[in-house]
Structure 1
Amino acid sequence: MKKAPVLFLGHGSPMNIILENEYTNSLVRLGKTLPKPRAVLVVSAHWLTKGTFITTRETPEIIYDFYGFPQELYDIRYPCPGGKEQIEEVSSVFKNASIGYDNQRGLDHAAWAVLKHMYPNAEIPVMELSLDVQKTPQEHYEIARKLAPLREQGFLIIGSGNIVHNLRLVDWDMEAKPYEWAVNFDAIVKKCLLEQNHQPLVEYENIGKDAMLSIPTNEHYLPMLYAAALQDHDEALRFSYEGFQNASMSMRCFSIGDL
């Protein structure tokens, strides 16, 4: 089987779930361009745990983990199957590491908000992988490397978060001009990704003030490291979307591997 690509998707505001814009159109194009995966594994910025966990629910419910938005968002369903049949394959890559299983948790909007645009028929099994809050960025990068064999088995691995994500300084105008520090840090990340120079991305705190403003907490940034870690030396990296929303969120998305 041809090795499946890897994605990092900035997901931004829940309003993107119901909007048609350049960003959501880029997700639609990805869904039409990518080879159809056997299953999708989403590394979610919105599932923080002590220990690393994976969802195993046969029919995952949708989690509406956002508040104060239009009712239209809460009326949306995404009735995809879970990855119960694929769980042994995922378990096998963690044979020398600890992983937990959660058969109650559904899918948060880091997963279904982007998949709704990519695969609107909701026919592909979807699982989520949590972020262990006790681990360092380097340890997360090393966990990501363990996922590589799943690509050979037809799993589309998606890191879903935002490279720049500062809600403390958000502008509620989605088209607001981005902050200079946000643009600067996003450009640094872009350069490192293109050069496949990942260590500065892992050690982002050493970059300085622009990094600290861009990553006040790192749960949205870490899924990007998971995607980057899965790039082989001979694989191309392409940006499927570049831009900002709400002044303080980079919506940059990229793919690794053959589409």
Structure 2
Amino acid sequence: MSESTAPESVTTTWSDLPTTARLPVLFVGHGSPMNAIENNRWRQSWQALGTELLARAQQPRLILCISAHWLTAGWQLTAMAQPRTIHDFGGFPQALFDQQYPAPGSPPAARFISRSVLQPGSNRPLELDGGDWGLDHGAWSILKPMFPDAAIPVIQLSMDYSRPAAEHFAIGRQLAQLRERGVLIVGSGNAVHNLRTMRRDAPDNQAYDWAIEFDRVTADHIVQRRLPALCDFPQLGAVAQMAHPSWEHYLPLLYAAGAVQEEDEPRFFNEGFQGASISMRSVIWE
């Protein structure tokens, strides 16, 4: 019986499982929902990365995804056995709404993670969502190209937008332990995200000066291993305000960066921009 459906009394619990080789942690710039179905370089890169990860001796037992598109009061984990595919967008072709990603969930893993990670400031465990959410497009639009068989269980972790950046990073620090239990941690957002100034006719190698500057500073922090400094992005003032009029697309980077270990090396992929104001910069640490 699979762990996502078997009664917990007859299933090996997550706390009993042996540790494994440490899995990577990812931050993926997801950009437009259309990237999920268009044969562009962003999607091709996701496909190549998924092939690379599945070819390794240590493959993911579970994917924990932190998406820019699930904001809650407090932090929650999806805890249903079969999360639904959420089409949380409008104005796109029917082909995008027809997309489904039937990856299973894992209630036992959700319970284990809930007990293992405490909410900053309250020391309460993460809350469990048994059916209201599912997999939003921040999750399935990148996971479907990476892992098209939808065989790996997926859990989403929400974000409390009201909390300071350092608390999101702190939760990432707690998530780091999961990498040695076969969990692939994936943050899905964008290093720069301003839809108000987006220019759909702009080529991928062009962007506003403020977008280029914010993306450069972010990349420098990653390369120089100044990951806690990522929390200080408001100090960039007007540049930060233009790069993120609201910062839900930046926050998933903090979870991924928080889960990085000292010896991990960053590798960028999908560098460039969509519409001059959306950075597609993505990074894998391993």
Measured against the shorter chain, the TM-score band is over 0.9
**Letter of the 1:75 counterpart:** D
The reply to whether residue 42 of structure 1 matches residue 65 of structure 2 is yes
CA distance in 1, matches of 2:29, 2:106: 23
User: Aligned partner of 1:97: which letter?
Assistant: R
Cα offset for 1:88?
3.0
Q: Displacement, 1:205?
A: 0.6
Secondary structure in structure 2 of the residue aligned to 1:40: strand
Q: Provide the alpha-carbon RMSD of the alignment.
A: 1.3
| Equivalent residue for 1:235, pick from 242, 253, 264 | 264
- Cα distance in 2 for residues equivalent to 1:118 and 1:90: 24
The amino acid of 1:60's aligned partner reads P
Contact 1:7 1:227 in 2 (8 A): yes
2:234 maps to a residue whose letter is: E
Residues 190 and 125 (structure 1), Cα distance of their counterparts in 2 relative to 1, 3 Å cut: same
User: In the alignment, is the contact (CA less than 8 A) between 1:28 and 1:117 conserved in 2?
Assistant: yes
Dislocated runs of 4+, deviation >4 Å: none
Alignment counterpart, residue 202 of structure 1, candidates 228, 231, 234 = 231
**Counterpart residue type for residue 66 of structure 2:** V
Name the larger-Rg structure.
2
Cα distance in 2 between the residues matched to 1:100 and 1:20: 38
Q: State yes or no: 1:146 paired with 2:174.
A: yes
Structure 2 unaligned regions, length at least 5: 1-19
Q: CA deviation at 1:184?
A: 1.1
Instruction: State the match for 1:32 in structure 2.
Output: 51
Deviations 1:105-154 (A, max 9, x none): 11100100000100001111001000112210011111111111110100
1:142-184 CA distances to partner (integer Å, 9 max, x unpaired)? Answer: 1111111110100000000001000111112363631111011
Matched to 1:223, the amino acid is P
* Amino acid in the other structure paired with 1:124: I
Distance 2:65 2:116 in 1: 16
Calculate the TM-score normalised by the size of structure 2.
Answer: 0.87
Structure 1, gaps ≥5 residues long? none
Counterpart pick for 1:101 among 128, 136, 139: 128
Identity of aligned residues (%): 44
CA distance in 1, matches of 2:211, 2:203: 14
Deviations along 1:70-95, one digit per CA (max 9) or x if unpaired, are 00001111111012231233123225
